Amino acid sequence: MSKKLIFKEDIESLVKKAALDFDVYFPARDSSGDCQFVRFSEEKKNLPKLCLDYDNLIIPPKSIFFPQIERMFTFKKGMAVENTQPHHLLPKLIFGIRACDLRGLQFSDVFFKRNFADKYYLGRIKNRLTVLVGCTKPLRENKCFCVSAKTGPFLEKDFDLQFTDLGRSYFVEAGSKEGERFLKKYKNFFKDSGKEDSLLTVEIKKKASESITLRVDFFGAIKKLMKGGLPQENYQRIGERCIYCAGCLYVCPTCTCFNVFDYKDGRLRNWDACIFEGYTREASTHNPRVEKWQRTARRYEHKLKYDYQTTGMSGCVGCGRCLESCPVNIGISKFIQEITENKKIM
């Protein structure tokens, strides 16, 4: 696979050029200084400043493919008319995604075609191309644990293009045929790399991994849960403390719960959360998970056990957002530490 260089001053022109062929999304600072993915074509006249060295991205890029709220169809003259524009026609280019978030998208790709094909989501990912920019320092100090989950800070495979920050330039690796095609198509922006660039990249990746200091026994926790459920007390203690705000779920790159509801003009779906009591309440009013601890158990066991059993992928990618967003300091990394280190952390 090809290895190239791109100078930082050429990135903005590359993005603008690529926007002729792709529906481009990239991280840019908002008015509060936070970075969010923005869509280039909406901002054509005034390109917001690209921000590839961001140290935090509160909302994961799942929202590009799985919007917080979307119309599924509209009622017209008593008939349901499909929403024919649930996605933009051009393939999407996600420029500047982090390794853990790419793993999150790949998990969602599997989820949305696992039991039935979700045309809304799958329509949006068609011909998607991702440019991963590896983290050279942890995005969330003492909160992210991608090294333990084997989801970052760089990937060995399953990416289209991977960028490593070398200072003035990025080292660019192609990891798929689509990535190779991109390099070829926009070849004027990329330069040949030398052996010293490859060596420096190896060194930078090594240092980046070492800088992720939060290490947990991620696969030990999966193994433990696979062997059987945990005692109820483990979940009860977390459930008593959790205020069930769902912040941790909405910001989680792999959480995909949604609810569907009709209004007078059509049908919508929006993000939901499995820890809400109403999520599993049935029409008969029976609720199989009426107790808080049962919903807590479901959340953790789903991510670390059932997802792994059914897809071979964990429903947690170690991004640390849940711990960062929780007002009462609960996070899946702490849960993993508690069950693998046999000590009370939360």
3-state secondary structure of 272: coil
Contact window for ligand SF4 (CB under 6 A) among 179-187, 203-211, 280-288, 326-334: 326-334
Strand-strand pairing, 129-133 and 92-97: parallel
Q: How many helices (H) and strands (E) does the chain have?
A: 15, 12
What is the chain's length? Answer: 346
Answer yes or no whether residue 275 interacts with ligand SF4 by CB under 6 A.
Answer: yes
Q: How many whole angstroms separate alpha carbon 171 and alpha carbon 190?
A: 10
Residue from the set 102, 125, 252, 339 that interacts with ligand SF4 by CB under 6 A: 252
Name the minimum Å distance from CB 107 to ligand SF4: 9
Name the minimum Å distance from CB 35 to ligand SF4: 17
Cα-Cα end-to-end distance for the chain = 45
Q: Which is nearer to ligand SF4, 65 or 170 (CB)?
A: 65
Q: Which is nearer to ligand SF4, 201 or 254 (CB)?
A: 254
Answer yes or no whether residue 297 interacts with ligand SF4 by CB under 6 A.
Answer: no
Contact window for ligand SF4 (CB under 6 A) among 24-32, 124-132, 187-195, 314-322: 314-322
The burial class, CB within 10 Å (0-12 / 13-18 / 19+), for 275 is: buried
3-state secondary structure of 136: coil
Contact window for ligand SF4 (CB under 6 A) among 119-127, 174-182, 184-192, 313-321: 313-321
Q: Which is nearer to ligand SF4, 186 or 219 (CB)?
A: 219
Answer yes or no whether residue 322 interacts with ligand SF4 by CB under 6 A.
Answer: yes
Residue from the set 81, 243, 260, 290 that interacts with ligand SF4 by CB under 6 A: 243
What tokens does 266 get? 């059509």
Contact window for ligand SF4 (CB under 6 A) among 72-80, 114-122, 228-236, 239-247: 239-247
Strand-strand pairing, 129-133 and 161-165: parallel
Contact 6, 170 (CB under 8 A): yes
Residue from the set 201, 320, 334, 335 that interacts with ligand SF4 by CB under 6 A: 320
Which alpha helices (DSSP H) does 128-246 contain, by range? 146-149, 177-185, 195-211, 218-227, 232-241
Q: What percent of the chain is helix, strand and coil (3-state, nearest 5)?
A: 40, 20, 40
Encoded amino acid at 7, one letter = F
Answer yes or no whether residue 244 interacts with ligand SF4 by CB under 6 A.
Answer: yes
Answer yes or no whether residue 316 interacts with ligand SF4 by CB under 6 A.
Answer: yes
* Residues binding ligand SF4: number (CB under 6 A): 25
Answer yes or no whether residue 245 interacts with ligand SF4 by CB under 6 A.
Answer: yes
Interacting residue ranges for ligand SF4, rule: CB under 6 A: 242-248, 252-254, 275, 303, 316-322, 325-328, 330, 332
